[in-house]
Amino acid sequence: MLTRVTELRTLIRTTRTRLADGRALAYYDDREPYVSGMATRALHDSRDLPAGQAQPTMRRDVLTGEWVIFAPHRMDRTHLPTAAQCPLCPSRPGALTEIPADDYDVVVFDNQYPSMIATAGPVPAWLDGDPLWPQCPAVGRCEVICFTSAHNTSFAELTPHRVATVIEAWVDRTRALSAMTQVRQVFCFENRGAEIGVTLHHPHGQIYAYPFVPPRTERLVAQAAAHRDRTGRDLFADMLTAELRAGLRVVYQGTSWTAYVPAAARWPVELHLLPHRAVPDLASLDSAERSELATLYPAMLQRLDKFFADQGDPGPVPYVAGWHQAPIGPGRDLVRLHLQLFSVRRAAGKLKYLAGSESGVGVWLNDTTPERIARRLRSLT
């Protein structure tokens, strides 16, 4: 059912530049004539942008031990502009956007409204300190990745050729960000759809580099460490074996990847992609794994978009797709890369909300079953 990209071309031309306010931008060109890097086509960012004043900070919650990030400047971020005002489309004369080129393939740049920044400034005046709630500037990175210059499309509609370029961009950024001193985890993700809070419709994702190990990753490390202590074995390998043995929740079994609904799926639609080999991050995928992923991933997104078609909902379906990578530092050998893809839509016209049980005490209620989700996804070939 999947068309494989047999010849994954390796020639991606990367061009790095700066925006008017100093933010970094990198083009990843994947086709002749590698347009955005060409001097004749690329534009100088001539916008009059204020120098970055944002100073996101973070505090550790004394009751949960978790860091919370404060970025009040984000309250003013661009909110659902019209297509003509889209800041992620290529620039046109008279309409300068975040991308100073008249076309591009894939581009990554520093977010104008970051939740974390590269260099700490002074601690802002509103912060009061106490040993009970450690606080500091939120040093890290928030990058935007545009998957295509075409405004009215989606990741599911990208060609495997283009998906392969996106993967190479994720790999490049994962590698670079992981090498930075403060970074403890790199998280590549896509939020799609107004129902999940997306403020820009242009197909894009985000890359966050956190200066701490996020709560979910901490749990993964703890669970995998306990499993290794108890059994001497790898948790992810055993989980994959058990899912394949059960079979009920497997949606696609490929050469290098398996797509399955986890036994304890917490969302009304949820699908995980797990590589068969124990790799910590995207950068560790070999070319066969990247190649299969370039076809498998958009194919799964296409199924997601059809999930509620039998209820009269033609899609697109809002989703979050997040690449869980191993932390940098302790626990790195315990966590395997995996994609978690989920939707908050629970039925045509109805959303799953995180109310008292989920947001209050952290207990997820699912109004369906993992087996039903898998059966539906398997039927959507």
Residues with a catalytic annotation lie at: 204
Paired tokens of 20: 């008017």
Paired tokens of 325: 């990578």
Interaction mask 333-352, a second copy, x per CB under 8 A: -------x-x---xx--xxx
CA atoms within 13 A on the CB side of 97: 24
Dihedrals φ, ψ of 137, to 5°?
-60, 145
Give the number of other Cβ atoms within 10 Å of residue 197's Cβ. 10
**Of the candidates 355, 251, 240, 321, the residue with the CA atom closest to the CA atom of residue 367:** 355
Residues 7-36 that bind a second copy (CB under 8 A): none
Q: Is 233 in the site for a second copy (CB under 8 A)?
A: no
Amino acid letter at 38? M
What's the closest the beta carbon of residue 135 comes to a second copy, in angstroms? 8
Stretch that binds a second copy, among 6-14, 22-30, 175-183, 204-212 (CB under 8 A): 204-212
Q: Is 239 in the site for a second copy (CB under 8 A)?
A: yes
Q: Based on CB atoms, which residue is closest to a second copy, 239 or 377?
A: 239
What's the closest the beta carbon of residue 110 comes to a second copy, in angstroms? 16
Stretch that binds a second copy, among 45-53, 234-242, 251-259, 287-295 (CB under 8 A): 234-242
Output the CA torsion 195→197→199→202 (10° steps).
Answer: -60
Beta bridge partner(s), residue 260: 250, 272
The span from the first CA to the last CA of the chain, in angstroms, equals: 7
Q: Is 361 in the site for a second copy (CB under 8 A)?
A: yes
3-class DSSP state for residue 314?
A: coil
Residues 30-89 that bind a second copy (CB under 8 A): 59-72, 74-75, 79
Angstrom distance (rounded) from CA 198 to CA 196 = 6
Interaction mask 128-147, a second copy, x per CB under 8 A: x-x-xx-x------------
What's the closest the beta carbon of residue 77 comes to a second copy, in angstroms? 8
CB 137 within 8 A of CB 114: no
Q: Is 363 in the site for a second copy (CB under 8 A)?
A: yes
Residues 144-183 that bind a second copy (CB under 8 A): none
Q: Based on CB atoms, which residue is closest to a second copy, 20 or 248?
A: 248
CA 2 to centroid of chain Cα atoms: 23
Stretch that binds a second copy, among 15-23, 152-160, 243-251, 288-296 (CB under 8 A): 243-251
Q: Is 356 in the site for a second copy (CB under 8 A)?
A: yes
Total site size for a second copy, rule CB under 8 A: 84
CB 235 within 8 A of CB 219: no
Stretch that binds a second copy, among 20-28, 163-171, 192-200, 302-310 (CB under 8 A): 192-200
Beta bridge partner(s), residue 139: 117
Binding residue for a second copy (CB under 8 A) from 85, 369, 379, 381? 369
Residues 89-118 that bind a second copy (CB under 8 A): 115
Q: How far is CA 280 from CA 64, 65, 109, 185, in A?
A: 27, 25, 24, 11
Binding residue for a second copy (CB under 8 A) from 219, 286, 287, 381? 219
Q: How far is CA 374 from CA 194, 265, 351, 352, in A?
A: 25, 10, 19, 18
Residues 250-269 that bind a second copy (CB under 8 A): 262-266
Q: Is 354 in the site for a second copy (CB under 8 A)?
A: yes
Helix (H) or strand (E) holding 13: strand 13-18
Q: Is 311 in the site for a second copy (CB under 8 A)?
A: no
